[in-house]
Amino acid sequence: MLHPLVGHEEARRALTRAHAAGTLPAALRIMGPRGIGKQRFALWLAQLVLCEAAGPEGPCGSCRHCRRVLKLEHPDLHWFMPLARPKGASGDKLQEALESARMDRLAELREEPLRPSWEEEATAIYLAAARSLRKRAQSPPAEGREQLFLIADAEALVPQASSPEAANALLKLLEEPPPATRFILTSSEPGRLLDTIRSRTIPLHLAPPDPETSLAFLVERGFPREETRAALALSAGSIGMALGYLPTDDGELGPLEELRRDAFELLRAALSPHAGDGYAAALAYPPAGARALMPLLDALEVWIRDLAVVTAGAPDRAVNRDSVSWLGNRARELGLHPAAVGEALPEVEVARREARGNVNPQLVVAGLVSRLRTALLSPVVTA
C-alpha cells in the first residue's frame, strides 16, 4: 500500500478544481527537485481521475479504484520508469525483457514504496519500452472511464542527446492522446527533455515539502529524529533524498551519504597542493560506466557551492553544515576568492557532458579535478 502523499496541498487543490471543471490537461509534466514526491503526486492524480466519488477534497481514497491505485494494481494505471538495460536482450526480446523488468520493479514498489531516490545502476527509458507504451495506449481502458500513463523521470527518454528515438516515439501520442487516455510525465531535470516534449505537455512545478512536515512524516514511520533532521537539511526537505543519507538497516552508510563523502574527497583533491592526488582519486573509479558518475557530480556541485558561500562569508547558507569549519579554514589557507570558486562550477557541467557521452570515468574524474585546481587556485584578476 502506498504511503500518504506529503505536502503539495495548493497543487492538489488546483488539480482537483480543474478535474471538476473538466479542464485537467491530457498531458501533464510534473517538475521539481529529486525525491520530493513527484511520482507519489502523480499516483494521487491517478486516484483523482479514476475515483468513483471524487469531491472538493480530491479522491475519496476508499472506492475500489482508489484502493487499486494505492496497491499499484489498477489495470488502467500504467507506470513506466527508467530501467537498467537487460543483458543479452535485443530486438523483440529486449521489449519482452524490459516489460518483465518493469513488472519486477512494480512488485518491489508494492513491497517497499518508501525508498531512497537513488539508482546505483545507469538506467534509461529505451525505445523498446516507448514502443510498448505506445502499443498499450491504443487499447481502451480496461475498467475505468479513463486510463493513465505515468512516465517517471522522463528526462531518461533521452539518455544521450544524439539518441532521441524513445522520446520521439511518444510525440504523436502526446500531441493527440487517444480517447480517454492521459499522460503524466515527471522530471527532475526538465532541461534534458526535448523541446517537442515540453511543447506538448502542460508544466506543473512542485516545491519540496516543508522540512518540519517531512520530519514528522519520517519520525512517525520510525526514523530517528535527530539523524533524520540532519538528513533533511542535506536534502532541502526532500524525503526521497533524505532516505539516502540515513544509515541502512544493517548500520552501513546510506548510499547518498557515501556519495557525499566521495564527492568531498574530490574537492579535497582539487584543493591539494599535490596534483597527483587528483590522479589517485580518479583511479578509485572503474574504467567504464561513466553515466553512473552523474549523482557524484551532483554532490560535488553542492560541495563547491558550499565552498563559495563560506568563502563569501555566508556559512549559514551551506548545505554540508558539518564541514563548514574545514571549508572556511581551507579557504583562508589558500587565499581563495569567491569569484574563483564561482568559476569552478561550470567545470562540473563539462564533466556531466563527458559522462553522458560515456567517456572513461577515470578520465572524467582526473580531468575534472585538474580543471577545478586550475580554477580554484589561479589568482583572480580584478579591474
DSSP-assigned states of every residue in 99-130: HHHHHHHHHHHHH--S--S--SS--B--HHHH
Query: From start to end of 135-270, where are the E strands?
Result: 147-151, 181-187, 202-205
Q: Which residues contact 25 (CB under 8 A, 6 or more apart)?
A: 18, 201, 202
Rounded to 5 degrees, φ, ψ at 149 are -115, 115
Residue 3 lies in a domain: no
pLDDT at 300: 96
- Do 216 and 199 share a domain, yes or no? no
- Do 284 and 221 share a domain, yes or no? no
pLDDT at 382: 46
User: CA 302 to CA 299: how far, in whole Å?
Assistant: 5
- Do 179 and 235 share a domain, yes or no? no
Q: Which of 197, 188, 74, 70 is nearest to 142 (CA)?
A: 74
- Do 241 and 262 share a domain, yes or no? no
Give, in order, the Cα–Cα distances in Å from 339 to each of 142, 287, 324, 378: 59, 33, 19, 11
- Do 333 and 230 share a domain, yes or no? no
Positive or negative, the CA dihedral 204, 210, 214, 217 is: negative
CATH number for the domain that contains residue 13: 3.40.50.300
- Do 195 and 285 share a domain, yes or no? no
User: CA 178 to CA 139: how far, in whole Å?
Assistant: 9
Local structure of 293: helix, strand or coil: helix
- For residue 245, give the amino acid letter: Y
The terminus-to-terminus CA distance of the chain in angstroms comes to 62
- Do 42 and 186 share a domain, yes or no? yes
Tell me the Ramachandran region of residue 380: left when phi exceeds 0, alpha when psi lies from -120 to 50, beta otherwise: beta
User: CA 30 to CA 350: how far, in whole Å?
Assistant: 27
- Do 223 and 360 share a domain, yes or no? no
Range of the domain at 348: 253-377
Residue 1 lies in a domain: no
- Do 82 and 228 share a domain, yes or no? no
- Last-in-domain residue among 147, 182, 207: 207
- Do 63 and 24 share a domain, yes or no? yes
Find out whether 46 and 69 touch, Cβ atoms under 8 Å: yes
Query: What pTM was estimated for this model as a whole?
Result: 0.85
User: CA 344 to CA 370: how far, in whole Å?
Assistant: 11
pLDDT at 380: 52
Sheet holding 181-187, edge to edge: 77-80, 147-151, 181-187, 27-31, 202-205
When computed from its CA atoms, the radius of gyration of the chain, rounded to whole angstroms, is: 22
- Do 129 and 179 share a domain, yes or no? yes
Local structure of 32: helix, strand or coil: coil
Q: Which residues contact 189 (CB under 8 A, 6 or more apart)?
A: 155
pLDDT tens, residue order, the chain (383 aa): 889 999 999 999 999 999 999 999 999 999 999 999 999 999 999 999 999 999 999 999 999 999 999 999 999 999 999 998 888 877 778 889 999 999 999 999 999 988 888 776 778 888 888 888 989 999 999 988 899 999 999 988 865 544 567 777 788 888 888 899 999 999 998 888 888 889 999 999 999 988 899 999 999 999 999 999 999 999 988 999 999 999 988 888 999 999 999 999 999 999 998 888 989 999 999 998 887 888 899 999 999 999 999 999 999 999 999 999 999 999 999 999 988 898 899 999 999 999 988 899 999 999 999 999 999 987 654 44
pLDDT at 115: 85
Local structure of 180: helix, strand or coil: coil
Q: Which of 238, 4, 29 is nearest to 117 (CA)?
A: 238
- For residue 368, give the amino acid letter: L
pLDDT at 95: 87
**How many folded domains does the chain comprise?**
3
